[in-house]
Chains A and B, each alone.
Chain A
């Protein structure tokens, strides 16, 4: 049996990459000693799930305002965009929506009774260099959307 290769060390890799690009101060990745935890109060078949993605509803440019957005899960788009995001554009592609936005699989999970329902909207959360923007601006908006949509649980899929 072959052993699994070591997962890529992305923090070290990106540090070296941006240093080679002439950036003097390395990015400080978020780190916490404490992690919040919420136990399920009901079985999964009684709960409503929200799907959250870092992909965008349109082909975003680097200069565009990056804000939380949403779309319908009932009439979900056939394409989402991630051209401006940090992923391996040489090794793979985003042509199959369900490889990063598993809408069909979640519909199946509802049909098979694994989860109670899918929230009527999915949410797009921009990745931000600023952790402050994520914590003070984006996270409260996502929580507000979850409350408005009576969401119990969330599946988050960063590209």
Chain B
């Protein structure tokens, strides 16, 4: 999505991204970014929390108008209800290494089969 924002901007359409993957978006480099430090999946706010969602969307609209230079990131103040997701997401542990290796092997085999199937 960061690449799409860059291309739109170059075509004269001002953009703002709402997202939760700070490092990926900033590494790419985008014009305007509203970052909410939530698990990936709900970049517009906690499910069913209409007030929070409205505030986050409003922040994005404001940023469209107020940003004066590219790479402008605004961090919203919201916190997820717990922090366990921070370590658990895509976690590699001693007790899941064998399972992950098996998952990867299965995936590669499926992809190879798909490539060979006309």
Partners in one complex: yes
Known: A30-B3, A35-B6. Contact between A86 and B15, CB under 8 A?
no
- A10 & B23 in contact (Cβ 8 Å cutoff): yes
Which one of B4, B6, B97, B107 has the highest number of Cβ atoms from chain A below 10 Å of its Cβ? B4
**B74 in the interface (beta carbon within 8 A):** no
Tell me the bound Cα distance from A155 to B31 in angstroms: 12
Partner of B13, one of A14, A18, A100, A152: A152
Residues of B within 8 A of A86 (CB): 40
CB-defined interface of B77-117 with A at 8 Å, one 1/0 digit per residue? 00110011110111010000100110111011000001000
Chain B: how many interface residues by the 8 Å CB criterion? 75
Q: Which residues of B contact A155 (CB under 8 A)?
A: 15-16, 18, 57, 60-61
Q: What are 21 A-to-B residue pairs whose CB atoms are below 8 Å?
A: A10-B40, A36-B70, A38-B12, A39-B14, A43-B65, A44-B64, A87-B39, A88-B85, A91-B88, A98-B45, A99-B44, A105-B57, A134-B4, A143-B11, A146-B8, A153-B15, A154-B8, A155-B61, A156-B17, A158-B17, A159-B43
- Mark A residues whose CB is within 8 Å of B: 4-5, 7-14, 16-18, 20-23, 29-40, 43-44, 50, 52, 54, 63, 82, 86-96, 98-102, 104-106, 108-109, 114-115, 125, 127, 131, 134-135, 138-140, 142-143, 146, 151-159
Interface residues, chain B, CB within 8 Å of chain A?
1-19, 21-24, 27-31, 35, 37-48, 50, 53-54, 56-58, 60-61, 64-65, 67-71, 79-80, 83-86, 88-90, 92, 97, 100-101, 103-105, 107-108, 114
